[in-house]
Amino acid sequence: MDKTKLIQIIFVVVACIIAAVITVFFANIAPLIVLATLIGMGLVVIIFRQPIFGLYLIAFLLPFERLGSFEAAGVTIRASQIFALITIIAWLLTFLAKKVNFSARNPLIIPIALLTGFSVLSMINAVNLQRAVMILAFNSFVMIISVMLPNLVASKETLHKVIKIVFISCLLVSLFGIYQFLGDMAGLPHEITGLREHYTQKVFGFPRIQSTSLEPLYFANYLLIPISLGIALTLRRRKKDQTPLKPLYIAAILGLAVINLILTLSRGGFLGLFVVLLASCLLLLKYLLSFKKIALIVIIAAIAATSAFGFLKITGEDKNVDVFIEQATSYSEGVGVEERFSSYEDATRLIKQHPIIGNGIGNFGPQIHKNPYQAPEAGWPIVNNEFLELWVEIGALGLASFLLLIGIIVMRTIKALRTKSDNATKTILIGLFIAFLGILAQYQTFSILYILHIWFLIGLLVAAQNLILHKAARQKS
C-alpha cells in the first residue's frame, strides 16, 4: 500500500470518529452533520487522488469569508482554508509518492523565505508572542498556496478552468450581494440577509453590501480580480482566442461585479477600481482604439452606474444619493479617516523604536494597547496601510522582502508579455496583473497580509507567467 492511500484511509477513519462524537453531543442536527461529513469525506478522497480538484474548490470558495465559516478557539475557520490545507497535504503527498507536481519554477520562493525569516526575527521585540506565532502561521499558510498553485496549474486548459470557476463564483456572490441590498431595504432582518448589523440601512439610510465576505472592503478587494480579468478578456480578446466563458457572459459578470463594488461604498475599493481602470487604459490602450470595444465598455459602465444609482433611488430617499456621494468622496473627514491618521502616528512612533527588525509580527495592536495580552472587543487595531504595517512589525528588512516580491512579479510579467506566445494566456496574465496593481493600491487603506484570494492571485500570476515563458522557450529551441 502506497503512502497516499494509507493517508486517505487514516483521514477517513479519523473523520468518521469525529462525526460520531459530534453526533452524540449535537443529536438535534445529527442528519446535517452526517450529510456534511459524507460530502466532506468524498471531496477529501477526490482531492487526495487529484489535488487539482482541491484547487478548483479553493477558487470557488475564495469570497466565502463570513458565510459558511465558524469560530473555533477564537479563530474564524473558513471552508476555503480547510480545503486549502487538504490540498496542500495532497500536493505534498503526491510529490513524496510519485515525485510529480513540484517542478514549477517560482522565483517568489526567495522573497517569501526572506519575509518569513525576518518575521521570525522580529519576534525578539514582540510583546504578545502568542499572537506573533499565530500571524506567522497564517502568513506562511497563504504563502504556501502561492507556491503550490504554479505546480498544479501546469497547462493552459487548467488555467482556463480556474478562471472560469472564479467568474462563476463571482456571479453567485454578486447576485447574493444584490439580494442583500434589496432584502435589507425590504426590511428583512440581518440574520436573513447575511449583513452585519452596522452595514444595514440603519447607518446611512441604505445598506453597504458585503455579500459573503467579512466586510465590504474585503468584498471590494476580491471583486477587483474578476473585474480586471473581465476588462482584459473583453478588450484584448481576438475572435480565434479561446476564453474561459463566452464573451457575453464575461461582460454580464463584469457589469454585475462593478455594481456590487460600487454598492460596497468602500473608499479603498474605489481607489483600487480607479487604479484598475487606469492600468487597463495604459496596458490595453491600442485595443481601446476599436469603436466596437469602446462602445461595449461604455455600455457596461453606463449600465453599472445607472443600476447602482437606481438601487439608491429605490430606497425612497433622494438624499441617500447625496449621502452616498459625500461618503464616497470624503477622504479627510469621518471617524474612519481619523482612526487611520491616528494609527499612522502610532506606527511612525513605533518604527523609530525598532526600524530594522520591527516590533514583532502581528504586534502593532498589542504594542499600542494598554493590555498587550488581551484583545479588545473590536479586535486588535491595525495600521490600515500594509506597507507601513510591515515596516512597523517586521522592520525595514521585512518591508524590503515584500517590495522584492512585488518587483519580481512586475519584472517577470513584463518579460512574459514581451515574448511571442499564446495571446489568450497573455490576456489572462494582463488581467491578473491589473488586479494585482489594484489590490496594491487598496493596500494603502487596510493591512492584513494573510488574505487567501490575494496569494491565490499571486500564485496564478506566476502560473500564467510560466506557461508563457515555457512556450516561448520551446519555440526558440
Q: Report the SS3 class of residue 318.
A: coil
| Beta bridge mates, 77 | 70
Q: Is the pLDDT of residue 336 over 70?
A: no
Query: What residues contact 11, with CB distance under 8 A and at least 6 apart?
Result: 44, 48
At 210 the three-state DSSP class reads coil
Report the pLDDT value the prediction gives residue 253, as an integer from 0 to 100. 95
Q: Is the pLDDT of residue 373 over 70?
A: yes
Tally the C-alpha atoms within 13 A of residue 249's C-alpha that lie toward its C-beta: 12
Tens of pLDDT, residue by residue over 298-334, are 888 888 888 888 888 776 667 788 888 888 877 656 5
Burial class from Cβ neighbours inside 10 Å (0-12, 13-18, 19+) for residue 218 reads buried
- Tell me the residue type at 312: L
**In one letter, which amino acid is 426?**
K
Q: What percentage of the chain has pLDDT greater than the value 70?
A: 87
**Grid cell of 280 as nine digits:** 487597463
Cα separation, 14 vs 147, whole angstroms: 28
Give me the pLDDT at residue 257, please: 96
For 215-351, where are the E strands, in sequence order?
none
Q: How far apart are the first and last CA of the chain?
A: 42
pLDDT tens, residue by residue, 402-461: 999 999 999 999 999 999 878 889 999 999 999 999 999 999 999 999 999 999 999 999
Question: What pLDDT is stored for residue 33 in this prediction?
Answer: 55
Split at pLDDT 50, 70, 90, the class of 375 is confident
Task: Report the chain's mean pLDDT, rounded to a whole number.
Answer: 86
On the question of pLDDT at 349 being above 70, the answer is yes
**Whole-prediction pTM value?**
0.90
Q: What is the pLDDT of residue 6?
A: 59
Rounded CA separation 250/357 (Å): 45
Higher pLDDT, 33 or 51: 51
State pLDDT tens for residues 192-208: 888 988 899 888 888 99
Handedness of CA 192, 196, 202, 204 (dihedral sign): negative
Determine how many CB atoms are found less than 10 A away from the CB of residue 305.
Answer: 14
Instruction: Give the pLDDT mean for 47-70.
Output: 87
CB of 108 closer than 8 Å to CB of 462: yes
Cα–Cα dist 44/17, whole Å: 16
Residue 220 has what pLDDT? Answer: 97
